[in-house]
């Protein structure tokens, strides 16, 4: 029983970290491949278009990040509140719900950034 009391919270805590590591590694490999392709084209003497030299950026990326972080934060809070386990000291895992506030508040900050940038773009 002690193993289960440790294993399930460890999996819950490490799963987002593992997903982040996989995602960041994937993005790094994409960037490396992109630069390798650009170098090969440059070595062949092909004139590179300007749009290939600029880093690609998604429009409304702040809004997308905000939605992901707010949803993740709310999901983390709901997960901790729903877990029925207790530590050996008698403290419930549900008391860790506050860990979800970090991504939630970061997401709200991205929403504010997206909204302010959109508002500035409408004026100018």
The verdict on 66 and 119 lying in the same domain is yes
Q: Which residues pair with 86 in a beta bridge?
A: 92
The verdict on 3 and 39 lying in the same domain is yes
Number of domains in the chain: 2
The verdict on 75 and 41 lying in the same domain is no
Tokens describing residue 99: 């860990």
Q: What is the pLDDT of residue 73?
A: 93
The verdict on 101 and 90 lying in the same domain is yes
Tokens describing residue 52: 């290939």
Dist. CA 74–CA 78, nearest whole Å: 6
- Residue 120: pLDDT band with limits 50, 70, 90: confident
Percent share of the chain, pLDDT over 90: 38
The verdict on 63 and 121 lying in the same domain is yes
pTM: 0.53
The verdict on 116 and 70 lying in the same domain is yes
What one-character DSSP code corresponds to residue 96? G
Dist. CA 71–CA 81, nearest whole Å: 15
The verdict on 82 and 116 lying in the same domain is yes
- Residue 57: pLDDT band with limits 50, 70, 90: low
The verdict on 94 and 118 lying in the same domain is yes
Tokens describing residue 45: 């003497």
Q: Which residue has the tokens 């090969």?
A: 40
Domain of residue 44 covers: 1-56
The verdict on 74 and 46 lying in the same domain is no
The verdict on 21 and 64 lying in the same domain is no
What is the number of H-type helices and E-type strands within the chain?
4, 0
User: Across all residues in the chain, what is the average pLDDT?
Assistant: 86
């Amino acid at each position: 029983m002690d193993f289960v009391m440790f294993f399930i919270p460890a999996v819950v805590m490490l799963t987002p970290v593992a997903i982040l590591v996989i995602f960041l590694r994937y993005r790094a490999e994409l960037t490396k491949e992109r630069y390798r392709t650009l170098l090969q084209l440059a070595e062949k003497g092909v004139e590179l278009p300007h749009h290939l030299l600029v880093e690609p950026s998604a429009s409304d990326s702040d809004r997308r990040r905000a939605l992901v972080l707010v949803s993740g934060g709310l999901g983390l809070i709901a997960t901790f509140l729903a877990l029925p386990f207790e530590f050996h000291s008698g403290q419930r895992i549900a008391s860790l719900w506050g860990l979800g506030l970090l991504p939630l508040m970061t997401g709200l900050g991205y929403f504010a950034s997206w909204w302010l940038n959109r508002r500035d773009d409408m004026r100018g």
